[in-house]
Structure 1
């Protein structure tokens, strides 16, 4: 695998941004092993999202995701989005537009990764789990599968369930609770609209540790989605909001992804 540490200008944000990318290497006939599943000359890609207090470097620093991805011949794109909740902020920048539209375009223009739905996946932890599930529910035509690990699934519960956001920061991102409820940032409402509209959703995966402070949110979201008739692969077991849990479960996510080439 090659590691690319990339800085670029995001037009939707008006900011210089960063992403780390790990990508399989191919054989050029000089003794290097060929690198994994490909579609023509393009690799499948996992957009891997960070949590609230993290950045684009964290998955590589705290897990062995590069080594795990090498087994599947899949590229992994890890962007920085600050404390945005992957949202077009009420008082800030358009991070939803950035991650759902500009980021894939930039990544595909710079690296040999596929832009086809069947080769595109998203996953993330905590705030990033929320972001990945939002990509699946709001941009289902772009992703074949999305996965949430210990996701912050209920943005309306942040005032009483170990909220990671101060009140003023919540308002900068989502506005008031009344504005957030039923909006395109409310995963519960997005699931309802997808079910009512007969939308063809990507495969959905959700996991959470039973000792995680976000466990109750995850149970509510699981039950809500299943009550709507939406298929959801769900796993739980011992674990808290920690990197040991996420290192183990990103391996499960990679094994679960519907990669057309299978494992290398």
Structure 2
């Protein structure tokens, strides 16, 4: 695998920012690893961080590099501060950056596919919210999305993280039934039928966000969205997420023969 740290200027944000990228590499002699790569543009997983973290966290706390080696997919991990992946009311335009500028920049740097069937997004906590927000807002760009212990209900975000909510969303009146409301987006996407993105959702039963996850799961099921839901004993911690991101990679609709 090739591991690349990219520092670049974002026109959307008006600042220099960073992303970490894992690129496939065919190797046969790495101890304990077998890696593969395609001669075509790479399938790509956009992997989002949580509220307190940055673009380096998935590499520091999980074995994501080892897990993707045999799959031959690229992983793009950007920084989004504490933005909840929004064009912030008091801050920078991270939604426009993540949803529009970042994919274009990453594809200009690296041989990444822009085909819907080759693009996936996942994240934990705030990043789980961001992953579903991207896929439900842009179902024509992402085939699948995964949320690990996601902050999926903005009304709970308003209660639990009031300062961050205000900076990111403004007020509940602004956020509710908007393109930042996953329940509203789920209703919209349900009308697409089999064109809706595949969704994977998991949460530990002792996680403080468990009830929010149950609420979204039940709503998605009512709408007949293509949701795979899994739960087990666990809290909001990296041991659980390290195990579950491996499960996400097993779930992704990857055609490894391509």
Q: TM-score, normalised by structure 1?
A: 0.92
The equivalent of 1:125 in structure 2 is 124
* Kept in 1: contact 2:2–2:24 (CA 8 A): yes
The equivalent of 1:107 in structure 2 is 106
Query: In structure 1, which of residues 225, 230, 242 is the aligned counterpart of residue 225 of structure 2?
Result: 230
Question: Deviation at 1:31?
Answer: 7.8
Q: 1:159 to 1:112 in 2, by over 3 A?
A: closer
- Equivalents in 2 of 1:168, 1:155: separation in Å? 13
The equivalent of 1:246 in structure 2 is 241
* Kept in 1: contact 2:122–2:147 (CA 8 A): yes
Q: 1:238 to 1:262 in 2, by over 3 A?
A: farther
CA RMSD between the two structures: 2.0
* Kept in 2: contact 1:86–1:131 (CA 8 A): yes
**Equivalent residues in 2 for 1:1-80 (5 A)?**
1-26=1-26, 35-38=35-38, 40-80=39-79
Using the TM superposition, name which of 63-72 and 171-180 deviates more: 171-180
* Unmatched 5+ stretches in structure 2: none
- Equivalents in 1 of 2:209, 2:83: separation in Å? 18
Question: Deviation at 1:197?
Answer: 5.4
Moved over 6 A (4+): 30-34
Question: Deviation at 1:60?
Answer: 0.2
- Equivalents in 2 of 1:91, 1:66: separation in Å? 35
* Unmatched 5+ stretches in structure 1: none
| Number of positions where the alignment pairs a residue of Structure 1 with one of Structure 2 | 256
Question: Deviation at 1:37?
Answer: 4.8
* Kept in 2: contact 1:37–1:44 (CA 8 A): no
Q: 1:212 to 1:34 in 2, by over 3 A?
A: closer
Using the TM superposition, name which of 192-201 and 122-131 deviates more: 192-201
* Kept in 2: contact 1:44–1:120 (CA 8 A): yes
**Equivalent residues in 2 for 1:91-170 (5 A)?**
91-160=90-159, 163=160, 165=161, 167-170=162-165
Query: In structure 2, which of residues 169, 178, 181 is the aligned counterpart of residue 174 of structure 1?
Result: 169
- Residues 189-213 of structure 1 deviation map (CA, whole Å, 9 limit, x = unaligned): 1111222455821111000000000
Question: Deviation at 1:70?
Answer: 0.3
User: Which structure has more RCO (C-alpha within 8 Å, separation ≥ 6)?
Assistant: 1
